[in-house]
Every structure is written in C-alpha cells, then in structure tokens.
Amino acid sequence: MSKTYETIFENNKKWIAEKLGEDADFFNKLAEGQKPEYLYIGCSDSRATAEELMGLKPGEVFVHRNIANVVNTLDMNSTAVIEYAVRHLKVKHIIVCGHYGCGGVKAAMTPDDLGLLNPWLRLIRDVYRIHQKELDAIEDEQQRYNRLVELNVQEQCINIIKMASVQERYIVDDYPIVHGWVFDMKTGELLDLNIDFEEVLKDIQKVYDLTNSEWVMSRTNNKNVH
C-alpha cells in the first residue's frame, strides 16, 4: 500500500490529537527529557522497527539502527551511541536485535562486489569466518543463513562488551546487561537467543579486559533482582 508524502503530515496531526487525548501533558513530559532503560541496536530494515515491536513509547528506548545491526570499534556512529547510552543515560539493558531474512547478512554470504558496502559487509563475513566450522556443517542454506543472523547478533554483543565504558560501568553497577535477540518477521515474534555471556566471555575476557579487575557479565542480573 503506497502512501503519499502528504499522508505523513496528516498522520502526524492525528497522532498528536491521539496522544493529547490520552494525556494532555504528553508533549510537556516528552520535552522535559529522556531517561530510557533500554538501548536497542537493530537493523535499518523498514520491517524491523524498534518501539513498535517492543510495545514501548517515546522516551522508553534509545535506538541505533544500521545495516545488519553491526557494532564496530572503528564506527564512530554506533560507538558514540553506546558510549552516550552507557555513561550518560545509564541504560540498564543493551539489546542487539537481528532479524531472519536480513538482506545485509544475505549479501555477506554472496560473492558480489557491492562497492561501498563491501567493508561493512566484510564485518559479517568475519563473523562467518569465526564460526565457519559450525556454519559450513549446516547443509540447508536457509538454516545456515538463519544461523549466521544469530551468530552475527552474538558477535555484535561481544563487540559491545569489548568497550571500556561498558566494562567499567558493569563493575560498579552490575549493569548494563547485554541481550541478543532475533526478530522473526514471519511470525512477528521476538526471540531471546539466551546467549550465555559467562560462558562466551570465559575465554575471551583476558584478551579484551580493559579494567584489570574481575568482572563477569551475566545474561540476567541476579544481584539486583528484588
């Protein structure tokens, strides 16, 4: 269903009326500032939205999206978003959400020269190389593709944990907790990959530790459950 450009502004007027109908102070509160508990890092794919699929309202989630939900040390965009979310907004949860049917992941499995996209997609090819044994053992191409979507989420979660701001804050607060999710657009479901970070980090921590102190990043925060 195609919509005209003007429709967007009509929609906006309807949205304002709807929000004011629910709460006359809605925009006053919104303008006061933000204190989101979540940072969501997802794919730019137009079908994999952030707030809508999580049922969250404006002000509840800080969002970063790019092709295939990649977090890379040399990408100032994603690292600045994480740095701000962790050090200043002090989010409690960081979510990396991939999605099955991801065009970026598919392109990284295809022998094609995509110009400027090559170095970006190479980051996903690197994920394939790290997990090549497991992926090559999957005969069904669709299943292999789905698994690369999941492993890409896992590796991007690890890239977040490599950051000093995340490690330092975790030692002090036991937060942020990093989560890996996949959105299945065929069903609409959000799937928690339940990545066992304690296990994942056991071997890599000594390589990536920037704090020179003991820290264990768990999937759930047991110490602060009330």
Of these residues, 45, 64, 97, 179, which one is catalytic? 45
Footprint of Zn ion on 77-96 (CB under 5 A): none
Q: To the nearest whole angstrom, how small is the minimum distance from the Cβ of residue 104 to Zn ion?
A: 5
- Confirm whether 179 is a catalytic residue: no
In this structure, the number of other CB atoms found within 10 A of the CB of residue 163 comes to: 18
Smaller CB separation from Zn ion, 68 or 217: 68
Of these residues, 64, 99, 179, 219, which one is catalytic? 99
Backbone angles phi, psi at 183, to 5 degrees: -95, 125
Q: To the nearest whole angstrom, how small is the minimum distance from the Cβ of residue 191 to Zn ion?
A: 15
Instruction: Tell me the number of residues near Zn ion by CB under 5 A.
Output: 4
Smaller CB separation from Zn ion, 182 or 217: 182
Q: To the nearest whole angstrom, how small is the minimum distance from the Cβ of residue 45 to Zn ion?
A: 4
**Tokens representing residue 28 in the block:** 């006053």
Distance CA 58, CA 72 (A): 27
| Chosen residue from 39, 45, 201, 217 binding Zn ion by CB under 5 A | 45
Q: To the nearest whole angstrom, how small is the minimum distance from the Cβ of residue 101 to Zn ion?
A: 7
- Confirm whether 43 is a catalytic residue: yes
Smaller CB separation from Zn ion, 48 or 217: 48
Q: To the nearest whole angstrom, how small is the minimum distance from the Cβ of residue 197 to Zn ion?
A: 23
CA-derived radius of gyration, the chain: 19
CB neighbour list of residue 210: distance below 8 Å, 6 or more residues apart: 164, 167, 168
| Chosen residue from 39, 82, 102, 160 binding Zn ion by CB under 5 A | 102
Distance CA 36, CA 105 (A): 29
Of these residues, 64, 97, 102, 219, which one is catalytic? 102
In this structure, the number of other CB atoms found within 10 A of the CB of residue 60 comes to: 15
| Chosen residue from 43, 95, 121, 157 binding Zn ion by CB under 5 A | 43
Smaller CB separation from Zn ion, 164 or 190: 190
- Confirm whether 45 is a catalytic residue: yes
Footprint of Zn ion on 139-198 (CB under 5 A): none
Establish whether the linkage from the previous residue to 119 is cis, with ω within 30° of 0.
no
Active site residues: 43, 45, 47, 99, 102
Binding site for Zn ion (CB under 5 A): 43, 45, 102, 104
